[in-house]
Copies of this chain bind each other. A is one copy, B any other.
Amino acid sequence: MNIGILGLGTVGGGVVNVINKNTKEIERRTGSQLNITHAAIKNLNEKTICPTDNINLTEDAFEVVNNKDIDVILELIGGIDFAKKLVETAIKNGKHVITANKALIATHGNELLSLAKKHNTHLLFEASVAGGIPILKSLEQGLGANKIELIAGIINGTGNFILTEMRNKGRDFADVLKEAQELGYAEADPTYDVEGVDAAHKLAILSSMAFGCKLELDQVSTIGISQIEGEDVSYADELGYSIKHLGIAKKINGQIEMRVHPTLIPKKRLIANVDGVMNAVLIKGNAVGNTLYYGAGAGSDATASAVIADLLDLVNGTVNDGTLGWKELIEFTTIETGSVESIFYLRLIATDKPGVLANITSTLADHNISIEAVVQKQIDSLNNAHIAIITNKVKTAEITDAIKQIQQHEFIKDSVKLIHVETLE
């Protein structure tokens, strides 16, 4: 099997390096050598992070996908439009494609998977979600006997790094983001990471694999972490929670909900203790119960590990010939955001005068929202009351309504903050 790589950057270079350093093991896994014959790179004069001695290099990626001697293409350049053209061409040329490109799969996966089916080739993308953690294969094979009820994943390392630093060191969002950019964890334009776009891509892929339905990126309701303040982090801590940016997918009465948002999780849950740039995905199946998969969500060799795992499956003939791991996909309807049921955390800043808390709690009660925990403090120089509340489980529409009403009181000093709480039991 001859392999062509598009891109020898962090991931592509990692693939070559890992194949080189684990040659013997890989040969014992497959009974043959993995033969990287061609690679396309942006600039032939630029140094790569891997040796390229026995690889034919070109700046023209189409030369690689059109090469008749190549059987498998590894698409590792990222981005959407150009990558899509290359993958389409490779598939039409009868080649298998392995990609780490979550944006490409989340936005064009359905048509690319159909195209691959039509041309009898495989399109594999283990590396697109949670880097080196073999989470897609686990959903497809190891957990294949289950009805999946819940996915809850820390699937963006940059966001988790920022939230961890905010909690452990009491630092500000903006300050940590700047450091993350300097460390190379976050891009110059951090929107994809901090506004949840990257996590939404991954959640759409996880959901489709888990529930056996088409990719529906636009059905993922997405909130980033940029609005989280230090005050929320410390209230959460005091109330027994950690704030994590989660991708959550649930199947309830045949309907699916997909949402990415900051979430308060009880500190005693294992996933609440996943810190720094690490990723973890909790999967609840109706037979297996709660399982968790933890590891590096990014990085050169870790992502390469997942790309090569797909390659081994191809060479060993252990690829499922269904679509997204299913022989038959189902249609599904999404639960409207207003109907999503959740526990919530509210934070309010109000003038400290008699009756304020009574007023707030009675408005909540009018909406059938009861209070599980409350903390009130005077922590600013203006003697305002800062109030944090944990509610019972309510419909999103109900709490949104209640907040609209509370917000109108003249004693409310700032926007009421609303964050999801998940017990993950």
- B328 pairs with A145, CB closer than 8 A: no
Contact with B along A30-65 (1 / 0, CB 8 A): 110000000000000000000000000000000000
Taking CB atoms and an 8 Å cut-off, the chain A residues in 120-147 that contact chain B are: 126, 132-134, 137-138, 141-147
Residues of B within 8 A of A27 (CB): 328
Nearest CB of B to A142, in Å = 2
Q: How far is the CA of A323 from the CA of B330 in the complex (A)?
A: 36
The reply to whether the CB of A305 lies closer than 8 angstroms to some CB of chain B is yes
- B292 pairs with A294, CB closer than 8 A: yes
Q: How far is the CA of A161 from the CA of B148 in the complex (A)?
A: 27
Known A28-B328, A133-B291: A144·B309 in contact at CB below 8 Å: yes
Nearest CB of B to A80, in Å = 26
Copy number in the complex reads 2
Report which of B30, B270, B280, B326 forms a contact with A29, defined as CB distance below 8 A.
Answer: B326
The reply to whether the CB of A363 lies closer than 8 angstroms to some CB of chain B is no
Looking at A219-227, A237-245, A310-318, A376-384, the stretch in contact with chain B turns out to be A310-318
- B137 pairs with A142, CB closer than 8 A: yes
A-B contact pairs, 7 of them (CB 8 A): A22-B145, A270-B273, A288-B301, A288-B305, A289-B296, A294-B294, A316-B322
Residues of B within 8 A of A212 (CB): 25, 28-29
Nearest CB of B to A160, in Å = 13
The reply to whether the CB of A9 lies closer than 8 angstroms to some CB of chain B is no
Residues of B within 8 A of A289 (CB): 132, 295-296, 299, 301-302
The reply to whether the CB of A183 lies closer than 8 angstroms to some CB of chain B is no
Known A25-B147, A28-B330, A320-B316: A292·B292 in contact at CB below 8 Å: yes
The reply to whether the CB of A228 lies closer than 8 angstroms to some CB of chain B is no
Contact with B along A2-28 (1 / 0, CB 8 A): 000000000000100011011001111
Report which of B18, B142, B312 forms a contact with A306, defined as CB distance below 8 A.
Answer: B142
Q: How far is the CA of A30 from the CA of B289 in the complex (A)?
A: 22
Nearest CB of B to A318, in Å = 5
Number of interface residues of A (CB under 8 A): 66
Residues of B within 8 A of A25 (CB): 145-147, 212
Q: How far is the CA of A29 from the CA of B25 in the complex (A)?
A: 31
Report which of B288, B305, B328, B330 forms a contact with A143, defined as CB distance below 8 A.
Answer: B305
Report which of B31, B144, B291, B304 forms a contact with A328, defined as CB distance below 8 A.
Answer: B31
The reply to whether the CB of A287 lies closer than 8 angstroms to some CB of chain B is yes
Contact with B along A242-285 (1 / 0, CB 8 A): 00000000000000000000000000001001100000100001
Question: Secondary structure at chain A's binding surface: helix, strand, loop or mixed?
Answer: mixed
| Residue among A132, A142, A306, A316 with the highest chain B CB neighbour number at 10 A | A142
- A327 pairs with B29, CB closer than 8 A: yes
The reply to whether the CB of A411 lies closer than 8 angstroms to some CB of chain B is no
- B301 pairs with A287, CB closer than 8 A: yes
Report which of B141, B147, B291, B294 forms a contact with A270, defined as CB distance below 8 A.
Answer: B294
- A145 pairs with B309, CB closer than 8 A: yes
Residues of B within 8 A of A330 (CB): 28
Q: How far is the CA of A417 from the CA of B345 in the complex (A)?
A: 48
Residues of B within 8 A of A317 (CB): 317, 321
Taking CB atoms and an 8 Å cut-off, the chain A residues in 143-200 that contact chain B are: 143-147
- B141 pairs with A137, CB closer than 8 A: yes
Nearest CB of B to A150, in Å = 13
- B28 pairs with A327, CB closer than 8 A: yes
Residues of B within 8 A of A147 (CB): 21-22, 25
Report which of B133, B141, B292, B327 forms a contact with A31, defined as CB distance below 8 A.
Answer: B327
- A274 pairs with B285, CB closer than 8 A: no
Residues of B within 8 A of A328 (CB): 27-28, 31
Residues of B within 8 A of A329 (CB): 28
Residues of B within 8 A of A21 (CB): 147, 286-287
The reply to whether the CB of A319 lies closer than 8 angstroms to some CB of chain B is yes
Residues of B within 8 A of A311 (CB): 145
Residues of B within 8 A of A299 (CB): 289
